[in-house]
Amino acid sequence: MDILKANDYDLAEEDAAGFSPHLSELSRPVIKRVRALKKLQLESLQVETQFYQKVYELEKQFQPLFDAVNAKRRAIVAGEHEPTDEEADTPLLHGVTQETLEKIEQDAPVEGGEPSKGIPSFWYNVLNSVTHTADMIKECDQPILQYLIDITSESHENTPGFTLSFHFAKNPYFTDSVLQKHYQLQIGLSEDDPFDYDGPTVVKSKSFGINWNTGKDVTTKIIKTKKKKGPSAGKFVTKTVKNESFFNFFENVEQALDDDLEKEEEEKIRDDFETGQIIRDQVVSRAVLFFTGEATDDMDDFDDEEDDEDDEDGEDDNDGIHDDSDLSDGGGHETVRLGGAGGETIRVFKR
Amino acid sequence: MDILKANDYDLAEEDAAGFSPHLSELSRPVIKRVRALKKLQLESLQVETQFYQKVYELEKQFQPLFDAVNAKRRAIVAGEHEPTDEEADTPLLHGVTQETLEKIEQDAPVEGGEPSKGIPSFWYNVLNSVTHTADMIKECDQPILQYLIDITSESHENTPGFTLSFHFAKNPYFTDSVLQKHYQLQIGLSEDDPFDYDGPTVVKSKSFGINWNTGKDVTTKIIKTKKKKGPSAGKFVTKTVKNESFFNFFENVEQALDDDLEKEEEEKIRDDFETGQIIRDQVVSRAVLFFTGEATDDMDDFDDEEDDEDDEDGEDDNDGIHDDSDLSDGGGHETVRLGGAGGETIRVFKR
């Protein structure tokens, strides 16, 4: 029997969800005890925020170690350093036979004319192998992303957060050599809903726009419309409107979620936060595995069922935009990925 | 053009997946550079394991702080401590109006006869509010789980891992006061597939069975079968077979994933690892929020779409087995949960 219902409570919308039916069967002394547990829960969550603060500090301590490895990566990708045999003594692919590896190398195209420098289109191919970022890349972005030579992530020193930096070679599109995006984290409990705490959250993002060369801005397009009213009715006028592009990610705005947001705007902001998170957690730290197709992003787990059939043939008929979902480890788990040797990946620190 | 395909490679099954079509267009010098990046990736993952080792140590340091709060919780749940007014000055539910809270308390049933002790059925209701564990609870388990007075989790001191302890009041079903389950973690890279590293993984679980009182073991049942062959053909014989029960979780076995496992067995073991993880990460650390229905487990995100319609009426017509999926925060994100004040939850430490 649901007493709340039976008594015909006039519940505000926010009251309608958020509690279990068995609550209405609790006697007053028991309710008091549950309220005491709620207070203890708050205490426990406070401890948790201290824990996450320490993890964030630990992350800052480790940053230089990751940076050192990633700087070597950049040098090779950008053609600033040619690896020695010893530096390149790891097989191209993991989990394939020796014969396959040899055949791939034997049949690799011979370089004609100028020898190549670095790894052309490396970052373009990486971003294009991660479902979330691949969806952001439009045709107009492809030539520009060929100039992307590094993506780095840096934890902020004082206020918690991180900055993503996209490093570009000199190019005809814009004058910037680095495009940046800042994310601000909140490690403490939220005042509005402390009980929803589940670790640090992105609460704000900020970027500063791009200094496009004249006529090169792919984030806008000019359209012709026919005037319907007024003195110039019937005449064509041109109008500059937004264009779909990966580079909208760097639009000059500061965004935060807010209760008053329209659904569509909220969706957009969440998407932006998620992009930042994926680039930081997966793209920056696992780039070459996305390049070779050995890594899958978490998004793939969701797309699996839909995409499985399409990808059976493994063909890449999409002008370089391929889909790796058939390489996914399958399964619909969250935060859980198969370890190669078996086992479920867990966060030791997630309490 | 897919050169691998064009040359009609005889790929072993494991070779068929795991690389991107654009690989076959790389020249030999570029392949060498990618191989150098693979070696750097390994270096970076090694740094990551050191980071996770530190996080695990941090977690052990924090353990006593969490334990202290959870010991107070146990005392209240088990009726060993009656909270004072000050200890119970937190509202029963978050995000509902003051009027609703007052009405709930006003209309709470008056206790008749013996006053209650503690919070009856607390842990039963918690386990029953978490999708994954609720699915494990069968009718035969319900009376036994009423005796469950605490669930604790402890990180191991030397080899990485954790133990879940289910504490029971004296009961007519078994003589054990604590049922335990051990999980062993691997923090380092796996030898078989180092590139699949994504943090510590559960690699083994172990439990020790239950000392059931005679005739009380719900994990087995006796069935009658008719002999078909042999001298006693046509006669009925009794046979003890496994019965579906939550308590199969404590079966006396040690399990690890292994390449030779049958699909079904593998599924079972993964499920067991996942259960341990959910109990540790969610149940132990957020119990009261599951009890009140304010928390949702990650599994809910997956069930959302299916369940949304069924649960509109919010009725609990299932003998105490309710479904909280309508309280879910919705959305199909992975590892991403809405913070109440907006924002996307992220793991600061996930690299």
Provide the pLDDT for residue A145: 98
**Closest partner residue to A281 among B293, B324, B351, by Cβ?**
B351
Strand partners, A202: A185, B344
Instruction: For residue A18, list chain B residues with Cβ-Cβ distance below 8 A.
Output: 93-96, 292-294, 327
Share of chain B above pLDDT 70, in %: 79
- Does residue B323 belong to the interface with chain A, where contact is any CB pair within 8 Å? no
Higher pLDDT, B294 or B342: B294
Provide the pLDDT for residue B25: 85
Instruction: For residue B111, list chain A residues with Cβ-Cβ distance below 8 A.
Output: 27-29
Contact at CB, B294 and A18, closer than 8 angstroms: yes
Any idea what DSSP says for residue A54? H
Higher pLDDT, A98 or B67: B67
Provide the pLDDT for residue A105: 86
Q: At A227, is the pLDDT very low, low, confident or very high (cuts 50, 70, 90)?
A: confident
pLDDT of A50 higher than 50: yes
Q: At B187, is the pLDDT very low, low, confident or very high (cuts 50, 70, 90)?
A: very high
Contact A266, A101 (CB under 8 A): no
Give the predicted TM-score (pTM) of the model.
0.82
Contact B177, B167 (CB under 8 A): yes
Provide the pLDDT for residue B165: 98
Q: At A210, is the pLDDT very low, low, confident or very high (cuts 50, 70, 90)?
A: very high
- Does residue A305 belong to the interface with chain B, where contact is any CB pair within 8 Å? no
Query: Chain A interface, mutation test: which of B65, B153, B201, most A Cβ atoms within 10 Å?
Result: B201
Q: How far, in Å, CA of B243 to CA of B231, rounded? A: 29
Query: Which residue in B has a C-alpha nearest to residue A203's C-alpha?
Result: B343
pLDDT of B257 higher than 80: yes
Q: At B268, is the pLDDT very low, low, confident or very high (cuts 50, 70, 90)?
A: very high
In this predicted complex, what is the ipTM? 0.83
- Does residue A258 belong to the interface with chain B, where contact is any CB pair within 8 Å? yes
| Other Cβ atoms closer than 10 A to B85 | 9
Instruction: For residue A270, list chain B residues with Cβ-Cβ distance below 8 A.
Output: 344
Provide the pLDDT for residue A25: 85
Provide the pLDDT for residue B34: 97
- Does residue B4 belong to the interface with chain A, where contact is any CB pair within 8 Å? yes
pLDDT of B342 higher than 50: no
Higher pLDDT, B235 or A56: A56
- Does residue B55 belong to the interface with chain A, where contact is any CB pair within 8 Å? yes
pLDDT of B284 higher than 60: yes
Contact at CB, B344 and A47, closer than 8 angstroms: no
Q: At A343, is the pLDDT very low, low, confident or very high (cuts 50, 70, 90)?
A: low
Q: How far, in Å, CA of A82 to CA of B65, rounded? A: 51
Q: How far, in Å, CA of A49 to CA of A190, rounded? A: 11
C-alpha radius of gyration, chain B, whole number: 26
Contact at CB, B187 and A285, closer than 8 angstroms: no
> Which of B:204-233 have CB within 8 Å of A?
none
Q: At B255, is the pLDDT very low, low, confident or very high (cuts 50, 70, 90)?
A: very high
pLDDT of B2 higher than 50: no
Q: At B298, is the pLDDT very low, low, confident or very high (cuts 50, 70, 90)?
A: low
Provide the pLDDT for residue B85: 97
pLDDT of A170 higher than 90: yes
Higher pLDDT, B226 or B163: B163
- Report which residue type is found at B171: N
Q: At B226, is the pLDDT very low, low, confident or very high (cuts 50, 70, 90)?
A: confident
Q: At B340, is the pLDDT very low, low, confident or very high (cuts 50, 70, 90)?
A: very low
For A279-305, the pLDDT digits (tens) are 999 999 999 999 999 987 655 444 434
